[in-house]
Amino acid sequence: MTVDRPVDECLKAELLGIRRREEEMIRVYGMIERLVELLPEKAGVRSVCDKLVRIVIEETDFENCSIALWDAEHKDLALAAAFGLIDQLEERPKTEYHGRLRFAAECEVASRTFSNQEPVFIENTGLQPIPAKPDAVVHPVSLICLPLLDLGVLNISKSRPSLFPNQEKRNWIILSHIVGQIIQSAVFQERLRDENRNLQVLIDEKVRSLDGNNRQLAASNQFLEGILDHIPEGVCCLDSEGRIARVNAAMETLHGAANAGLLTSSPAVFFQDPRVFGQLMEMAGQAGSARLTDVVLLQSDGSRYPADVFLTKIGGEAGRHAGYLLIVYDMTEKKVFTEQLLRAEKLAAMGTMAGGVAHDFNNLLMMILGNTQLLLLQVCEEPLRRRLLNVEEAVQEAAKILRRLQVFSASKSENRKRAKVVDVNDVLREVVDLTRPQWKSTFEKQGLAIDLRLELCHSCFAVIHVSDLREILTNLILNAVDAMPGGGVLTLSSRSDGADIVLSVADTGVGMTGDTQRKLFDPFYTTKGLGKSGLGLSVVWNLVNQYGGEIEVMSQPGKGSVFEIRLPGTETGQEDAVCRTSPVSWPERRILIVDDDREVLRLLRDMIRLSGYKAVAIEDPGEAMQILDGDSFDLVLTDLGMPVVSGWEIARKTKEKCPETPVVLITGWGAQYEQEDLSKRGIDLVVSKPLSYDKLLKVLGNFLHPPEVSAEKG
């Protein structure tokens, strides 16, 4: 027993050594197998190097591996690839290797190994020091540096001492030769690709020199093909028989069918009336070219679109006829743009007209309304009162129409200055509450109903003046209700779309034809018969456009309509702040009235005196300026547009003399200024003409008998 034990131990040690060598060989064979798999690849040298260093780290217990290749231009070794054990761990930060690391000094291990073509195995740098590399990220304790033929070196290292048995050294020398061959193969591949490119260049040059005309023709054909496919109009190349030989991408899009499906067919398939193409061919045959405008073409699904078409002959060699060229100009967008332009011009003309006549008309209405209301105070006979009330109602209705007309005279810049951040959901609910009584009772009396549905998204803030948004939604809601005489569903929705806010008013009513939709926003166009001005949707279009928005209508007869409004939005809301100068009561009640229209001036004077106040009526605004220099008033009422001196100057003069004196602007332009804060211009309130007697009393009471003063007297 004592004799056999040493023999067993030796045998066991030998067997363990054999097993380790077998495991080492298996690992080496596995690595060789993975390395050899890179040979068929046609990747670049750096890509191959990246894969090589990764394989070394994945198949061994080394911590870092790098490859440095010889740079003939700089006469040194440059780092080509590096990978570390820590780079395999996703949760750990990657090693930041020095990408421009170079080895030039002869004392450096890499440079010496490459120069001598002898491998270096350092088991412990503490015992075998190596020169320090200041730029290096990795500072190894054990290191193997292997030459890669005449290409560079392979560096592998650990941060701890390691023993390198002779068999492992031989294995690494073998592996370095394989790695060198793989890199050499990648170098040859790159050189081969470069040589192939150079060879191709030489061949191309030879071909160009030997067959220059053909090359030029081929290049021209390719250029023309590219142009053909990038032309926005539809283009069809026809053979001499008038059959389709080729269509460009735009024509495929217009027709909705691929090039292959159209080849050899007649272009008559594009036309709603195939005879039109026959006429076009006949005209081109006689004159060489022909053009038709506003032709109806068909898409593959049967839908129609307007187009202008042009057909011309194409000559061939020796003057022979080679074929035809058919060009299709899609006029859909142009027609829409033209209609929008015409609509804008109509609205601009309407605005000019409204701006020129609104003031005069409002003065006339003011005279009619004021005199009518003064007569009502004196007439007791019922038949006469009824007629006067009819006159009063007609004047009020005429004033509403004038206010709508005045919307057209407001420029985009003016409206955008008035724009504020508005919560569109709040305005939607407010307009619903305001309009609901108008249509709810009407439908309920007939046993019908409107099913109102609100689909509102949170935080929808648009940049628009609240009164204008209210006007837009009121018109659209009432228009939708009118479109459902038998009842139906009214859906109001809001949503954010990028930087825009989108509002939708949808009904399930009678719908509209295409012709009606095209004229829908034209001034005075209406399908509702007598008694309707036809201005509501024109006002909507104009207001939306002036705030930089868009409006789109989608409708089909019998299937209802959807009006979609897109307005500039904002992420946060802010409150509208309107500052007004608080009027202060005076011991006496004297009112200065300034208006260059004599009849309006007399009417205002009579109405004020009838109310128990003292009125000083001045027709000449220059004279009013002089009076303000030497006299004081409890209230100043002034027109805006007057010769030489405007209402702004009257207000400025009043505030200079006595800042506490309230100034009320009574003007036919009130629709543009009523919602603005004009306190900086000396205006405390804007009132639109025509001004009713009741409203005048309310204005006088608010400024001459403020609540706090009335309370003190009571």
Pairing of strands 321-330, 304-315: antiparallel
Pick from 483, 554, 481, 484: which is nearest to 517 by CA? Answer: 554
Helix/strand/coil percentages in the chain, nearest 5 = 50, 20, 30
Tokens at 218, concatenated: 């081929």
Cα(166)–Cα(83) distance, rounded to whole angstroms? 26
Residue with the bigger pLDDT between 434 and 236: it is 236
In angstroms, the first-to-last Cα distance of the chain is 133
Cα(168)–Cα(76) distance, rounded to whole angstroms? 29
pLDDT, position 144: 94
Dihedrals phi, psi of 299, to nearest 5 degrees: -95, 170
* pLDDT at residue 146 greater than cutoff 90: yes
Tokens at 321, concatenated: 């006829």
Integer-rounded Cα Rg, in Å, for the chain is: 45
pLDDT, position 709: 40
Give the CA count within 13 Å in the CB-facing half-sphere of 197.
5
Tokens at 369, concatenated: 């309304």
Cα(30)–Cα(551) distance, rounded to whole angstroms? 70
* pLDDT at residue 587 greater than cutoff 50: no
Cα(424)–Cα(155) distance, rounded to whole angstroms? 69
pLDDT, position 350: 57
DSSP-derived secondary structure for 213-234: HHHHHHHHHHHHHHHHHH-SSE
pLDDT, position 241: 83
User: Global pTM?
Assistant: 0.36
Cα(129)–Cα(77) distance, rounded to whole angstroms? 21
Q: How far is CA 525 from the centre of its chain?
A: 32
Contact present, 310 and 289 (Cβ < 8 Å): yes
Helices (H), 71-149: 109-116
Pick from 428, 561, 569, 559: which is nearest to 492 by CA? Answer: 428
Tokens at 416, concatenated: 């955008």
Helices (H), 525-642: 536-546, 598-610, 621-630
Contact present, 372 and 388 (Cβ < 8 Å): yes
pLDDT, position 696: 85
Contact present, 159 and 140 (Cβ < 8 Å): yes
Domains and CATH numbers, the chain: 15-190 (3.30.450.40), 224-330 (3.30.450.20), 413-570 (3.30.565.10), 590-713 (3.40.50.2300)
Cα(636)–Cα(633) distance, rounded to whole angstroms? 7
pLDDT tens per residue, range 121-130 = 999 988 888 8
Residues 146-185 as b or e (16 or more Cβ within 10 Å = b): bbbeebbbbbbbbeeebeeeeebeebbeebbebbbbbbeb
Q: Kindly report the number of other CB atoms within 10 A of residue 7's CB atom.
A: 9
Contact present, 50 and 83 (Cβ < 8 Å): yes
HEC assignment per residue over 318-383 = HHCEEEEEEEEEECHHHHHHHHHHHHHHHHHHHHHHHHHHHHHHHHHHHHHHHHHHHHHHHCCCHH
Cα(250)–Cα(254) distance, rounded to whole angstroms? 6
Cα(299)–Cα(256) distance, rounded to whole angstroms? 6
- Residues 6 or more apart whose CB falls under 8 angstroms from that of 160 comprise 141, 142
Report whether the peptide linkage leading into residue 690 is cis, meaning its omega lies within 30 degrees of zero.
yes
Helices (H), 263-331: 274-287
Least confident of 182-196, 273-287, 393-407: 393-407
Cα(267)–Cα(551) distance, rounded to whole angstroms? 37
pLDDT-above-70 percentage for the chain: 79
* pLDDT at residue 579 greater than cutoff 60: no
HEC assignment per residue over 156-172 = EEECCCCCCCHHHHHHH
Tokens at 318, concatenated: 């020796």
* E-state strands within 258-320: 289-298, 304-315
Distances from the Cα of 472 to the Cα of 302, 306, 520, 533, 541, angstroms: 36, 32, 15, 16, 8
pLDDT tens per residue, range 35-52 = 878 777 777 888 889 888
Residues 379-405 as b or e (16 or more Cβ within 10 Å = b): eeeeeeeeebeebbeebeebbeebbbb
pLDDT, position 576: 40
Q: Kindly report the number of other CB atoms within 10 A of residue 506's CB atom.
A: 21
- Reading phi first (left if > 0) and then psi (alpha if -120 to 50, else beta), residue 558 is in left
pLDDT, position 318: 60
pLDDT, position 91: 59
Dihedrals phi, psi of 29, to nearest 5 degrees: -60, -40
pLDDT, position 153: 93
pLDDT tens per residue, range 593-621 = 998 888 888 888 888 888 888 888 898 98
Instruction: Please state the rounded mean pLDDT for residues 154-174.
Output: 90
Q: How far is CA 228 from the centre of its chain?
A: 30
Contact present, 658 and 680 (Cβ < 8 Å): no
pLDDT tens per residue, range 178-216 = 888 888 888 888 888 888 888 888 887 877 777 766 777
Dihedrals phi, psi of 104, to nearest 5 degrees: -125, -30
Kindly report the average pLDDT of the chain as a whole number.
78
